[in-house]
Structures are given as structure tokens and as C-alpha cells.
Amino acid sequence: MLAAIVNRSAPLPPGAKLLILGGGFTGQRLAEAARALGAKVLCSRRTNKSKGADFAFDSSTKQPPCDEIFQGTTHLISSIPPATNGEDPVLQILSSQLKNLSLEWVGYLSTTGVYGDCQGNWVSENDYAKPKQLRSKRRLECEKAWQASGLPIQILRLPGIYGPGRSAIDSIQSGKNKMVDKPGQVFSRIHVDDIVGAILHLINLQAKGNNPDIVNISDNLPTSNVEVLQYAAHLLGHDPPPIQSFEDASKHMNPMALSFWQENRRVSNHRLCKELGYSLIHADYKSGLKACLLHNQ
């Protein structure tokens, strides 16, 4: 619920204007929360016709938005994934506009895929990024490009994002017909409201001079997908779907789906929650799924 974020978050610094490039699942939620806290917010989508679009930005057109959009921006977040050529769409098209702004904080939403396979071990921001998949190698290149941009950048690494309308609750409700079991395999995840809560927390910490380069935003409990789907089925009062072995299921997976199962890691949130003092709204998938169910009702 938006109130859960708003009630615990300090407003953005006085006079702040937040520009959100990429108002998708996370960007929309951030826009709602920041507006509810009284900030001026502008949010892009690739077309003006999409819900929540304050302006259009599509890097494939190579057209920057008009100057007025950028005027007075103090805080900026990019939620736009790498382009198919591997370059960062924002830096590719908007570098000169961004360099002319008096930006106080810039967040780049990246992925914990940059850590590569950790064989089920815990991984933190202090570990060396060793991406295995091409898309994660591209992502690491985009992180480096942001870090070299001269902007006051903070890299936010995210595991699987879930939330209302995009969770195991929806999978079960849509008649998901199997659960894949790969012994020892876990996935880390984060509820979208905690991404937003953490961003607002980090913006306020930055204003106090505490601004680490890279922060993982993940919950406390990496778990198997079977456990998560079983719990979602339990909340809905449904029978859980039958379990299928990874060996069988993998014969029918597309390369993208298969690639997720080739990496196994537990993403540590020690920096965010212990060193930087962020308190999770949804410490684990059980809390997060209950909130998703309430939202759907």
C-alpha cells in the first residue's frame, strides 16, 4: 500500500524536482510515492499515451524531450534497461542535457545479475562483479558508463522485482500449471514498495553526505520458487501446482528462462539495512505476497 511507504518516508529535500526516466512498474510506483510526499515529479514512458506518462522519451527515436522537462531537476532516476546494442539509452541520447543540470542525486536501477553465478552463496557489494550472461555484461558496462559520467550517481542493484499485479499470486491465479524444482536453487527478490522506500531513504541519506557508490536492494530471505508458489497457493486456498523436475522442465524452456536457472545467489542487504539503516516493509516473500493479495481483493 502506498501509505506504507509514505508514512515512513521523509519528504524529498525542499524544492526538489524528481525526473523519472522509465515509468514502468517501479518508476510508476516511485512517482506515486514521491508525489504523495509533496515532491514535483515528471515521469517518462516511450509514448505519451501510456498510463502515467508526463512526457515521452524513446531512445530509439534519438529525440531528447524538450528543455523545459529538465529545468530545475535536482534528482533523477533511470529505470531504463540497456539498449540492444548494449549502450545505456539515457547516456546515449541525454548526456549533454543531464550535464547542464544542478543534480544532487542520480540513481541507476541495475540488476544483481552483474554478480553472475555465486553457487548459492551470499554476495555483497564488496564482491567483484563477474557477469556470466550477455545481458548482465551489458548491464555492468552501463553501470560503468554512469559511474564515468561525472554525475552524482548511485547504482542500485535489484534482484527479481515483484508486487501487485506481478507476483506468485498472479501466477497461481492465471493457472500456472507446474512448479520447477531444482534442489539447492534459490532466487533473491524484492517487493516494489521496498525499492521505492529504499530510494527515498537513500535520497535523504545523500542529503546528509552518506552516499555509497553501490547498494543492493533485496529482502532478507532468498528462497526457492517452489516455496514461494506453494505459499501463494496456500494464501489463495488453491491446491499448489504439481512439481516438475528441473531436468524435465529445462527441455522446454526458452534460452532466457533457462539463463535464470543457471545462476544461484543469495543477495545480501547488509549495507542497505544494517549500515544505512533502511527497515524493510516486506522482510520476506510471505509479507510481500500477503500485501499483493490484499491489493488484488
Find the part of the chain contacting ligand NAP (CB under 6 A) among 158-166, 177-185, 246-254, 281-289: 158-166
Closest-CB residue for ligand NAP? Answer: 24
State in angstroms the smallest separation of the CB of 192 from ligand NAP: 7
State in angstroms the smallest separation of the CB of 96 from ligand NAP: 17
From candidates 94, 123, 158, 180, binder to ligand NAP by CB under 6 A: 158
Find the part of the chain contacting ligand NAP (CB under 6 A) among 42-50, 230-238, 251-259, 287-295: 42-50
Q: Three-class SS of residue 86?
A: coil
State in angstroms the smallest separation of the CB of 223 from ligand NAP: 15
From candidates 17, 45, 201, 266, binder to ligand NAP by CB under 6 A: 45
How far is CA 69 from each of CA 19, 33, 64, rounded to the nearest angstrom?
8, 20, 10
Q: Which three cell numbers stand for residue 102?
A: 544542478
Q: Does 135 bind ligand NAP (CB under 6 A)?
A: no
The Cα 45–Cα 173 span in angstroms is 28
For 65-191, where are the alpha helices, taking DSSP H only? 67-70, 89-99, 134-147, 168-173
Q: Does 23 bind ligand NAP (CB under 6 A)?
A: yes
Size of the site for ligand NAP (CB under 6 A): 23
> Using an 8 Å Cβ cutoff, are 105 and 135 in contact?
no
Q: Which three cell numbers stand for residue 61?
A: 527515436
- 150: left (phi > 0), else alpha (psi -120 to 50), else beta? left
Q: Does 261 bind ligand NAP (CB under 6 A)?
A: no
The Cα 214–Cα 244 span in angstroms is 37
From candidates 35, 54, 55, 58, binder to ligand NAP by CB under 6 A: 58
